[in-house]
Structure 1
């Protein structure tokens, strides 16, 4: 048996108005159509729901029972529509984000906090990955959004600028490079490096810079995080490269020295990438617009158009 919500609504309206004519007027439908709906409802349920008198309509015991159930069903249907509208508008939902360690440690915590304050019913599922894995996750639809360092792309991913950072060299306190005037990156290539894990954007950038100087990186140890890299440098196992803002955060904790890298390659762009901005779920689109430079951080951010580069 499939009960029509419209018939239930008309049934409730007849009870509330007391006559079919008044119910028809309120619902903007012909009285004959209302009467037909009620008759069909009674036929479906195989019981009489209304008693028609010269004074109007009154419900039978079955009609009284049905009215209570129908009101509950109609409220729940309204709740379904309202809740689904929240998902379609982006006010509720899940955003799957993959980001590299540089974005996670420097920028995303505050941006995610302000976003979830504005949209408390949207959950952000964040996973750290290296740039190649991030791009793979986007193209395979494992992630809605990727945040990664600028890199040549051939997978047709659409990107927007997110932030910029600058890389710096860190060395143990008392290292000979710290006392060298006019430090250049080529000077660091005489020493052993502590590198990040395979696939790291920083490793790739540093290796490319060494290649352009026709040198190679002497990689002694690879680690999986900035804190581990700083521990290794502090223990005088080698020198390393990491974002300047992160280096400043760790320098006092680990007693390491920071040497800014002045070469142009050390200034990086961090991008937001998706398969298609047009096909993003509403919640993910709101998150992208929240992260975009100059984007409104308020709940109406979704009204800002995206410019794809």
Structure 2
């Protein structure tokens, strides 16, 4: 197979997304016949028909769907190369792309990375953060699409090298009129008789709660499913249900909204996060510095926790 042409791939993606060759041509300021020729050339290269013209528009074939997924990844990689080279030309001497789970970004990772970048020795290093699901994060690290990831350590990290990162503690956030709000702490089983506000099924928190409920043998009744912790707190404020949220997210904002935070007593409610990467020896110098900094933050946090426990 000959090398795939990025321009042709970009036009192919545009056709698949718009379902219309003329519209894709308009977006890219070329004539429709030029796109048709590019797609025909792609089909000759891969040896398969990639698109079909139907009444509802142009749609990818089965082979086209496979190429579409790879094309998006290749174009994203090419765009990152262009961005990184541009940053280098502006004086940035190192760049690290970090994939991170929703919880780590909502809680502490941005502040820790900001602390890293504010150090004089790191002033020429740029760190880009991209939020993603833990399962996609791990796959991307394995496939070499990003050098460093931060996620819950219960994710399938087999085959990757890891360093311990921070901890958090899941809690129930409840409207002050809710029966749970009168508790100082509770276990997860007690919450299952009430309506919940949850995150999508693809998230690590949803997976954890579903597993816990299955072990208990009771279902979770979701009255609302939202995409962020912030949205779940808004639903709780409207008294639509209770939500399981990290205390580190809830404690700074819940009192301002009149909400109550009730820590969960279950062992699994205390979560650990991990920094993961494929091979430390293959990390760039900038990425190794960042990993060392984040791991050092974790070690300092653990030492402080031990000191508070001893006191």
TM-score, structure 2 as length reference:
0.63
Match of 1:129 among 92, 114, 132: 132
8 Å CA contact 2:165–2:297 kept in 1: the answer is: no
Match of 1:236 among 239, 251, 255: 239
Give the aligned partner of residue 172 of structure 1: 175
**What SS class does the counterpart of residue 203 from structure 1 fall into?**
helix
Q: CA deviation at 1:138?
A: 0.8
Flag the structure with larger Rg. 1
Matched, 1:269 2:262: no
With over 3 angstroms needed to count, the CA separation of the structure-2 counterparts of 1:158 and 1:232, relative to structure 1, is same
Match of 2:221 among 211, 218, 224: 218
Distance 2:94 2:144 in 1: 16
8 Å CA contact 2:134–2:155 kept in 1: the answer is: no
Distance 1:170 1:253 in 2: 13
Q: CA deviation at 1:220?
A: 2.3
Q: CA deviation at 1:181?
A: 7.2
8 Å CA contact 1:139–1:155 kept in 2: the answer is: no
8 Å CA contact 2:135–2:155 kept in 1: the answer is: no
Matched, 1:249 2:233: no
**Aligned length, in residue pairs:** 208
**What SS class does the counterpart of residue 278 from structure 1 fall into?**
helix
| Cα deviation 1:158-182 (Å, max 9, x = unaligned) | 1110011100011111101223576
Matched, 1:104 2:100: no
Give the aligned partner of residue 201 of structure 2: 198
Q: CA deviation at 1:247?
A: 1.1
Cα RMSD of the aligned pairs, angstroms, is 2.1
Q: CA deviation at 1:226?
A: 1.1
With over 3 angstroms needed to count, the CA separation of the structure-2 counterparts of 1:295 and 1:226, relative to structure 1, is closer
Match of 2:191 among 188, 191, 194: 188
Q: CA deviation at 1:231?
A: 0.2
Matched, 1:258 2:261: yes
Give the aligned partner of residue 95 of structure 1: 96
Residue segments in structure 2 that go unaligned for 5+ positions in a row: 1-87, 301-311
**What SS class does the counterpart of residue 204 from structure 1 fall into?**
helix
8 Å CA contact 2:184–2:263 kept in 1: the answer is: no
Residue segments in structure 1 that go unaligned for 5+ positions in a row: 1-86, 298-309
Q: CA deviation at 1:155?
A: 4.4
8 Å CA contact 1:230–1:250 kept in 2: the answer is: no
Distance 2:292 2:230 in 1: 31
Deviates more, 1:178-187 or 1:261-270: 178-187
Q: CA deviation at 1:196?
A: 1.3
